Amino acid sequence: MLYLWAIILGFSPPQDIPDKIIIRFIFLLWTFYCMAINFVYQSFLITYLVDPGLSKQISTVDEILKSKLYYAISGTIEELLPELRTDKFSKREYCYDPEPCRDRLAHSSDYALLYSQISTDYAAAVKYVDSLGKPLFCKITENFVQQYITLVVLRGNPLLEQINHVILKVLESGLMEEWWKTLTYVATLSAAKDVGHIDNYYKLNFQHFQAVFYLLLSGYLISVIFFIKEFLNYFRFHRFKKHGNK
């Protein structure tokens, strides 16, 4: 009974196991069962330990409106989007100067800002990043509203067709996204080097434990190899012993 208890605790049992095949077979099944139980238990325990205990991130405008967050919109955007004046956004605050609004957004947890994505992303890359280069505020996945940008030229401009062709090729090739990614990346590097170490909580994931799991699997593999080798040597020894007696 103590041998079985030692196996489930992860200790190596003594070698004086009974010679009966049925007992050894049951002991082998118990060993595999304990390995499976320990693996599941360790996986569950690690999952529990790395769980930050945070709620689901707000990802839509409706979730912002239903939450207890204060939310602000730009006063100029309201002139372009009359739907913002409806009762749905009755608790809105106006943000005529985006700088203090972004400061409050980055350093408080009770505020949301409905603002231009490009402007906010660049501001986050330039100023509002931590020591790891991560933004200090989150973005929702839903597009709040589509805003189109036009380039106006004189009627009959001979370069209009070429301009449209170049713009189309730039959009289709993904150069716009690449330029924007490079621009924000350089801005983030410049901002992150001036930020001291911030003792924030970071969510652990499987990548942090890859080396541990690789070491664990390597140990299991080596144990199985040595077990099979010892098992084969045992039968070879007894077979040789029987032939020697004859």
Q: Domain ranges in the chain?
A: 1-53, 61-192, 205-246
Q: Rounded distance, CA 104 to CA 110, Å? A: 9
pTM: 0.49
Per-residue pLDDT of the chain (246 residues; tens, 9 = 90+): 666 667 766 666 666 666 777 777 777 788 788 778 777 777 777 666 655 555 677 778 788 878 777 788 877 777 777 777 777 777 778 888 888 888 888 888 778 888 777 888 888 888 887 777 778 888 877 777 777 778 888 888 888 899 889 989 988 888 888 888 888 888 877 766 665 555 555 556 666 677 777 888 888 899 889 888 888 887 787 776 666 665
* Cα 246 from Cα 233, distance rounded (Å): 20
Give me the residue label for tokens 């994505």: 117
Report how far residue 217's alpha carbon sits from residue 212's, in angstroms, rounded to the nearest whole number.
9
Q: List C-alpha distances in Å: 112 to 15, 64, 92, 140.
A: 66, 8, 10, 10
Q: How far apart are CA 40 and CA 49, in angstroms?
A: 14
- Check if the beta carbon of residue 185 is closer than 8 Å to that of residue 121: no
Task: Please say whether the beta carbons of 128 and 108 come within 8 A.
Answer: no
Q: In what order do the strands lie in the sheet with 70-73?
A: 93-94, 70-73, 111-114
